[in-house]
Amino acid sequence: MNAVASGWTAIRGALLTFDGDPFVDDAQACRYEPDAIVAMAHGRIVDCGAADVVAARLPPDTPITRYRDALISAGFIDAHVHYPQLPVIGAGGKPLLEWLTSHTFPTEARYADIDYARDVALRYVDENLRHGITTAAVFGTVHPQSIDALFDECARRDMRMIGGKALMDRHAPADLLDTASRGYDESKALIARWHQRDRLAYAITPRFAATSTPEQLAAAAALWRETPGAYLQSHVAENRAEVEWIASLFPNDARYLDVYDRFGLLGKRAIYAHGIHLDDADFARLAETGTALAHCPTSNNFLGSGLFALHRARSAGRPVNVALGTDLGAGTSFSMLRTMQAASEVAHLQGRPLSPLCAWWLATQGAARALDLDDAIGTVAPGREADLVVIDLRSTPLIDFRMRDVERIDDALAVQMALGDDRAIRATYVHGRLAWDRDAQV
């Protein structure tokens, strides 16, 4: 069978992927091939490995795109982001609760307009692809049309995406409030319209415990139980003032996480952003229930929320599933390279260095594991969906200069994290299709 009949295409360059958890054993978990071919057909990876070996197995006339001085990786996964906040990226100078009131809520009110939502959703998805992000867990606003706009754009691109409309029935401006029953009904309608259509999945999305009444939290839990394959996403313990506020709103719960636990909102496919001000008992409960955390270092630094203790969350005795999140718009960059670097700096500040391999894993296979998608994405291996990013290892004059003295893959990753940005994304593949080609944009 020739390549046209088989539908095969291939790309060639260095390859980095993971077969295990580098927090346990980075030498065994990492798989690096300095010259590799990744073959794709019908949206999936069908072969990969050393170039000379794979080339001999390819159907005749398979087109191979060669990327020189480049690294092929699984596409990046952003485990926590607010696409409606793109218009307020960089609006700083305030801690979390004041930032929400001053910047976020006024902006989110604009998403009652479906045309406005479509415009921002288009820009958001374009930026994801330009930064090598092929999957994300996304918050909409309280307006159902914010998710219609996002999912419509992602379906058009055949992207794997998770998202849900925010649930808020208190402590927010009147034009951003729903009710427990309306939030349930609107989410149910969105689920019927989008969940498990193409590569999309719905996430029940109570913003955080302060903006949902007990009735709404109970309705969110019911909706999650009723929807096979659905996600649950929210925030926990981001800011000390927030933690104190939750304690005043839920005085019968010993700790913040207990609120979500009591309502049945912990478990597999639940992911909570931040978790900065959690203790070891909280981490143990997260690990026990399979609940994941999204570590959002650029946002935490920008708002002065605190330093997430990744080393405690990933403790060998009861490791919590952790992924990286940009948390735009309090986060300051789409770039997962910049996010990895920020995570590394936060770890250093606590005397617990984060290796480049571990950082990369948190944005690929580790994130896929946290989202219960590691059987589909996050790893470059036959049978996995062909969501890939190609990193230009010499994307700027300074990086080119610095890479002259680099011999090891972990050192190369460190340079890319410290100095790289969107210019380093040479190409992004979504479900086997070239979705972003940096050089074609020139």
Model pLDDT, residue 3: 56
Strand partners, 139: 82, 164
Whole-angstrom Cα distance, residue 128 to residue 354? 25
Note the Cα 371 to chain centre separation in Å. 9
pLDDT at 25 (0 to 100): 87
**How far apart, in whole angstroms, are the C-alpha atoms of residue 81 and residue 242?**
19
Q: pLDDT by residue for the chain (442 residues), tens digit each?
A: 555 556 899 999 999 999 999 999 887 899 999 999 999 999 999 999 999 999 999 999 999 999 999 999 999 999 999 999 999 888 876 887 787 888 889 899 999 999 999 999 999 999 999 999 999 999 999 999 999 999 999 999 999 999 999 999 999 999 999 999 999 999 999 999 999 999 999 999 999 999 999 999 999 999 999 999 999 999 999 999 999 999 999 999 999 999 999 999 999 999 999 999 999 999 999 999 999 999 999 999 999 999 999 999 999 889 999 999 999 989 999 999 999 999 999 999 999 999 999 999 999 999 999 999 999 999 999 999 999 999 999 999 999 999 999 999 999 999 999 999 999 999 999 999 999 999 997 4
Note whether 42 and 258 are within 8 A (CB): no
Instruction: Look at residue 119 in the predicted model and tell me its pLDDT.
Output: 98
Q: Alpha-carbon distance 420 to 254, whole Å?
A: 43
Residue 366: alpha-carbon gap to chain centroid = 10
What is the SS3 assignment for 262?
helix
Beta pairing, strands 322-324 & 425-430: unpaired
In terms of phi and psi (left: phi > 0; alpha: psi -120 to 50; beta: otherwise), the region of 171 is left
| pTM check: above 0.85 | yes
Give residue 349's pLDDT.
97
What pLDDT is stored for residue 92 in this prediction? 76
Predicted pLDDT at 210: 97
Which residues are CB-neighbours of 337 under 8 A, at least 6 positions away? 416, 417, 420, 421, 424
Spatial CA neighbour of 62 closest among 12, 19, 25: 12
C-alpha–C-alpha distance, residues 203 and 227, integer Å: 10
SS3 state at 44? strand
